[in-house]
Amino acid sequence: MKIICIGRNYTEHIAELANERPKDPVVFLKPDTAVLLKGQPFFIPDFSQDVHHEVEVLVRINRIGKHIQPKFAHKYYDEIGLGIDFTARDVQQQLKEKGLPWEKAKGFDGAAVIGKWLPKSQCSAVDALSFSLEKNGQLVQQGTTAHMLWGIDELIGYVSQFFTLKIGDVLFTGTPAGVGPVAPNDVLVGQLEGEEMFRIKVK
């Protein structure tokens, strides 16, 4: 199983990190060992002093496909989820400055939170899903997939030009504004369409 992630897919988040608006989606991968095991706390790795939460809508691929046309992309997933793309921001910043790949900042153990899955049929239109992240009971990130620069079906079309999508692959679709640091004892709760999708303790 592979984890394909999209960076810079919401305008306000691009602005908060002072990034350029990309011409094409920014794509990176996380290894399967990045998945935070169910029921486990997230341990802040000792190589970072600034790990940020990025709440993101997830899609689980249920058919093998390559060069998928966006108009057919909806046939390749039937579950929607919510997760966190944990990012060692200080490490990422150093890598970015040198033009180096981001894996050390994004692909470490536990850096991919994958919450529960909802059948797509249970969601309203996938291009208007509302989601949020609370940290210790305070709302820190809130978004709607309506504000994506590239929608889910376009993203599937785009990434499948480069990578064959396989059953069980997970697509992280980018984070809205409000990313910020996590600290030991934080509790992170993600909601999609008003339903709790994960609850993570930070250690």
- Positions in the binding site for Zn ion (CB under 5 A): 54, 85, 175
- The C-alpha atoms of residue 63 and residue 49 are separated, in whole angstroms, by 39
Handedness of CA 19, 21, 24, 29 (dihedral sign): positive
Structure-token match 């810079």, residue found: 8
Q: How far is the CB of 85 from Zn ion (least distance, A)?
A: 3
Which is closer to Zn ion, CB of 58 or CB of 165?
58
Which is closer to Zn ion, CB of 28 or CB of 78?
28
Q: How far is the CB of 83 from Zn ion (least distance, A)?
A: 10
Half-sphere exposure of 142 (CA within 13 A, CB side): 4
- The C-alpha atoms of residue 59 and residue 123 are separated, in whole angstroms, by 12
Q: How far is the CB of 7 from Zn ion (least distance, A)?
A: 6
- The C-alpha atoms of residue 184 and residue 43 are separated, in whole angstroms, by 8
Q: How far is the CB of 63 from Zn ion (least distance, A)?
A: 25
Which is closer to Zn ion, CB of 76 or CB of 86?
86
Nearest to 191 by CA among 121, 129, 99, 147: 129
Which is closer to Zn ion, CB of 48 or CB of 175?
175
- The C-alpha atoms of residue 136 and residue 202 are separated, in whole angstroms, by 11
Q: How far is the CB of 86 from Zn ion (least distance, A)?
A: 9
Which is closer to Zn ion, CB of 65 or CB of 86?
86
